[in-house]
Amino acid sequence: MIELLSLPFMQRALLAALLSGLVAPAIGMYIVQRKLSLLGDGLGHVAIMGVGLAFLTGTAPLPTAVVTCVVGAVAVELLRQRGTATGDLGLAILFYGGIASGVMMAGIAGQGAAGLSAYLFGSLTSVSTGDLWAIGILGVVILILTIGLGPRLFAVAVDEDYARVLGIRVKLLNLLIVVLAAVTVTISMRTVGLLLISALMVIPVATSQQLFIGFKGAFFGAMGVGVLAALLGTVGSFYIDSATGATIVVASIGLLAVSWLVAGPLRRRRNFIPYVEDHPHGAVEHERAENHDDGHAHEPGVKVIQHGDHVDYVHGGHRHAVHGDHYDEH
């Protein structure tokens, strides 16, 4: 590990990957909430056109791809807001036209599939110092916007109409999310790769939602999971000599599996409902619930179910119901 950190290219790759691990799930939270999970993938295709264009014109790939992808993202969102059948066709043309023209331009420039694949699946040796600066600055801007505008972006993702009545500029924020997603995709192309980056937007979010209750908890949790996946994947790809992005995505899927193992039994216990016969509540025979004399309010995670004319609380394999000033055991 020490030996690995003394290699300058490895330091750059690790920093770039950790930044992607932080940023991709942050924007991914809003993308998942708005059910646009495939958007990141489409934007990755558009960015391939930017890379091809850079090969052809001899410009630096990262800035060219950022500009191309942001322009594509604005077009995507405008088509989506129109929401027509032509809009749908427009998206398909943009996405597949992006990847096709990118591969074509790379071929004409004499780079072929081999030159592109470092951008499609990520490669440790490809992050230059200049790239790192650009990735760092853009990453920080994305973090400031996704966290600073968090409450508003959340409100828009939850309920657009209500957000409008709060005076929030809904269309502008929707556009911002797509543009930030485009920038995230492109700054991740050296490490995670354009074909895989949307996985890092979506999978850590799913992992975090297994583990944390609440949007804020899941938001910061997803960033933590993303960083961990990026770290595991980058180091792993060094030792087993695999494509960095592919290794990062496999690592994030591994973390998702672990979160299922952890959260599964927890949720099963929470959802377990002991059977009771129907009864009018407060019927003659009842037994006071244990440990409820302090009139404790039921904690989050305690299951509530409607039971005839009253509500039952389920926890620890017991069903409790309010009866006057105390809880009854069922």
Partner 1 sequence: MADNTPLLDAQGLYVSLGGLPILRDVGLQVHSGEAVAILGGNGSGKSTTLRTVLGLIPFQEGSVRLFGTELANFHAWDRVGYVPQHSSLNVSNATVREIVSSGRLSHHRVFQWPSRQDRAHVTHALDLVGLTDRGRWPFVDLSGGQKQRALIARALTSEPELLIMDEPLAGVDLHSQAGLAGLLGQLRSDGLGLAVVLHEQGPMADVLDRWVTLCDGRIVTSETQGATDCAPEPAKTSSMGWLDPVAGVRR
The binding site for partner 1 (CB under 8 A) comprises 32-35, 148-152, 154-155, 157-159, 161-168, 209, 212-216, 218, 297-298, 300-301, 303-304, 306, 311
Question: Minimum Å distance from CB 283 to partner 1?
Answer: 20
- Residue 279's φ and ψ, nearest 5 degrees, are -155, 145
Among 83, 75, 17, smallest CA distance to 43 is for: 75
Residue closer to partner 1 (CB basis): 158 or 262: 158
Question: Minimum Å distance from CB 210 to partner 1?
Answer: 9
Q: Return the one option of partner 1, Zn ion, none that residue 159 interacts with (CB less than 5 to 8 A, by type).
A: partner 1
**Residue 322 makes contact with Zn ion by CB under 5 A:** no
Which residues, 275 to 314, sit near Zn ion by CB under 5 A? Answer: 286, 289, 307, 312-313
Helices and strands in the chain, H and E counts: 13, 5
Question: Minimum Å distance from CB 143 to partner 1?
Answer: 13
Question: Minimum Å distance from CB 302 to partner 1?
Answer: 9
Among 39, 34, 36, smallest CA distance to 159 is for: 34
Nearby residues of 62 by Cβ (< 8 Å), 6 or more positions away: 131, 134, 135, 186, 187, 189, 190
Would you say 320 and 289 are in contact if contact means Cβ atoms under 8 Å apart? yes
Question: Minimum Å distance from CB 156 to partner 1?
Answer: 9
Q: Return the one option of partner 1, Zn ion, none that residue 171 interacts with (CB less than 5 to 8 A, by type).
A: none
Residue closer to partner 1 (CB basis): 113 or 304: 304
Q: Return the one option of partner 1, Zn ion, none that residue 328 interacts with (CB less than 5 to 8 A, by type).
A: Zn ion
> How far apart, in Å, are the Cα atoms of 79 and each of 27, 48, 73, 149, 218?
21, 20, 10, 24, 30
Q: Which residue is nearest to Zn ion (CB)?
A: 318
Question: Minimum Å distance from CB 296 to Zn ion?
Answer: 7
Residue closer to partner 1 (CB basis): 270 or 318: 270
Q: What is the DSSP letter of 149?
A: T
Q: What is the Cα–Cα distance from 168 to 155, expressed in whole angstroms? A: 9
What DSSP string describes 209-254?
A: HHH--SHHHHHHHHHHHHHHHHHHHHHHHHHHT--HHHHHHHHHHH
Q: Return the one option of Zn ion, partner 1, none that residue 307 interacts with (CB less than 5 to 8 A, by type).
A: Zn ion
Residue closer to partner 1 (CB basis): 155 or 231: 155
Nearby residues of 30 by Cβ (< 8 Å), 6 or more positions away: 146, 153, 154, 157, 177
Question: Minimum Å distance from CB 146 to partner 1?
Answer: 12
Residue closer to partner 1 (CB basis): 281 or 303: 303
**Residue 19 makes contact with Zn ion by CB under 5 A:** no
Residue closer to partner 1 (CB basis): 31 or 249: 31
Question: Minimum Å distance from CB 125 to partner 1?
Answer: 38
Considering just the CA atoms, what is the radius of gyration of the chain in Å? 25
Question: Hey, which residues does 318 pair with through a beta bridge?
Answer: 315
> What residue ranges bind Zn ion (CB under 5 A)?
286, 289, 307, 312-313, 318, 320-321, 323, 328
